Structure formats: C-alpha cells, structure tokens
C-alpha cells in the first residue's frame, strides 16, 4: 500500500500562477450532461482563489453570481481567457 504522502500529485496549486488570480480564465472540467453522461464542460470566469483542494471562479466575472468551486479531481485544464472574452 502506498503512503498517501508518497503518491504522485497530478494537480498542485502552484501549477496555476498566482498572477492569474483576479483575471479571466476558462476552467475545462468534467461535467454531467443533460442525458446523465460524463462529459467535458468549460466555465469562463474570474479566478478568485486557488488552493490544494481546487479552484474558485466568479462565473461571468459578476460578483453577484454565486461562486463556483471546482475540485482538482474534476479539473482537466485551466487557461487564460482571450483578452476579448472579458
């Protein structure tokens, strides 16, 4: 049995640069479709926070919107959004 601390970590908070916080990003993540099938979704928003559990976005960058949390187990990729997206 592998000790939890010795397992390779596929996601680490340092993989997302701190400078990205407060900027527009797209989080590509696992999602359940309307048909109940596992698929891939993308969410555009302002990156609020990154830690060892996952990432928090302000969807659409509107602070009145409910924050969205994406655990690392569901995150496929995070990329900076194009300047025209903001």
Q: Are 55 and 69 in contact (CB under 8 A)?
A: yes
Judge: domain 15-85, CATH 2.30.30.
Answer: yes
Q: Token pair 């996952």 is at which residue?
A: 54
pLDDT digits (tens, 9 = 90+) for 52-74: 999 999 988 676 778 999 999 99
Average pLDDT over residues 20-32: 93
Name the CA dihedral angle for 76, 78, 30, 55, rounded to a multiple of 10 degrees: 110
* Domain residue limits, the chain: 15-85
Residues 36-55 have pLDDT tens digits of: 899 999 999 999 999 999 99
* CB-based contact 67:58 (threshold 8 Å): yes
Give the global pTM. 0.72
Share of the chain above pLDDT 70, in %: 73
pLDDT confidence band for 3 (50 / 70 / 90):
very low
């Amino acid at each position: 049995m592998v000790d939890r601390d010795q397992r390779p970590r596929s996601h680490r908070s340092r993989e997302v640069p701190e400078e990205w916080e407060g900027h527009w990003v797209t989080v590509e993540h696992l999602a359940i479709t309307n048909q109940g099938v596992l698929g891939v979704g993308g969410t555009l928003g302002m990156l609020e926070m990154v830690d060892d559990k996952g990432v928090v976005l302000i969807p659409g960058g509107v602070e009145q919107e409910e924050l969205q949390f994406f655990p690392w187990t569901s995150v496929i990729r995070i990329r900076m959004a194009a300047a025209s997206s903001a």
